[in-house]
Amino acid sequence: MWIQFLGTGDAFCSGGRYQTCILVKVPDYCFMIDFGATSLLALKSRNIESNIIDGIIISHFHGDHFGGLPYFLLDANFCGYRTRPLMIVGPPGVAERVGSLLETSYPKVRIEDLTFEVEFVEFRANQNIAMGPLQIEAIPVIHVPESQPHGIKIHYHDTILAFSGDTGWTDNLFDIADSADLFICECNFFSTELPSHLNYQKILAQRGKLNCKRIILNHLGAEMLEHVNSIDLEVSYDGLILEI
């Protein structure tokens, strides 16, 4: 599994980082984890063609995680001349949310009028979703409830990539991280405590109980970025590439 972090910042693009957007490739399949409002620019600034993407997983309905989809869809339609289907997996209501975001951004533009089919698939409790050669498992986390926040486990044969989404501390993070080859964990703050986001001190204190081979911190806010050169856990940055 080949992973490129394209957006590792918080909602406010702290430190000049793009909003959450991670590109993942396995043989014969390419997908994104989250697609924040800045994600099309994040792709194009690295000369990555949006047409290589087969599917997109959305962790929750906040603009820094799915707000870039209207631009992706229109770019695929008008610039990429896309004809092959695109799969979008997300929380319940994903088709309506993305359709309404598209029509709000560009009145009279509808998903059904695009040059390609968009297949929407909703997360289901205790049931994996097939996405190409992958199995997607979504686990609820603690964030603004109306955004329907989820952590995600992506299974590819024996390899597991785990992603926290945006969340405060919840013991569900143990399940999300369990047996993962890589756990990408949000770390919005260094020490500030909020119910809706994690901080570095909390993650460090729980690291021994998170049963994953490797953890990398993501979704870094301004306070966290001030400490990024003096901490004991691995931190992502825009452009980081790794393989698991």
Backbone conformation region of residue 132, classed left if phi is above 0, alpha if psi is from -120 to 50, else beta: left
Residue 110, token pair as written in the block: 């509808």
* Pick 33 or 118: Cβ nearer Zn ion: 33
Would you say 53 and 183 are in contact if contact means Cβ atoms under 8 Å apart?
no
Which positions touch Zn ion (CB under 5 A)? 64, 166
- Ordered alpha helix ranges (H), 79-171: 94-105
* Pick 54 or 166: Cβ nearer Zn ion: 166
Q: How far is the CB of 77 from Zn ion (least distance, A)?
A: 27
Q: How far is the CB of 30 from Zn ion (least distance, A)?
A: 23
* Pick 115 or 192: Cβ nearer Zn ion: 192
The helix or strand, by DSSP H or E, that contains position 200, with its residue range, turns out to be: helix 200-206
Q: How far is the CB of 221 from Zn ion (least distance, A)?
A: 9
Angle of helix 94-105 versus helix 69-78 axis, rounded to 10 = 70
* Pick 54 or 164: Cβ nearer Zn ion: 164
Residue 47, token pair as written in the block: 């000369």
Nearest alpha-carbon partner for 136 in 165, 115, 114:
165
As a whole number of Å, the end-to-end CA separation of the chain is 5
Cβ-Cβ contacts under 8 Å for 117 (sequence gap 6 or more): 85, 86
Nearest alpha-carbon partner for 58 in 32, 77, 24, 39:
32
* Pick 68 or 118: Cβ nearer Zn ion: 68
Q: How far is the CB of 20 from Zn ion (least distance, A)?
A: 6
Burial class (CB in 10 A: 0-12, 13-18, 19+), 184: buried
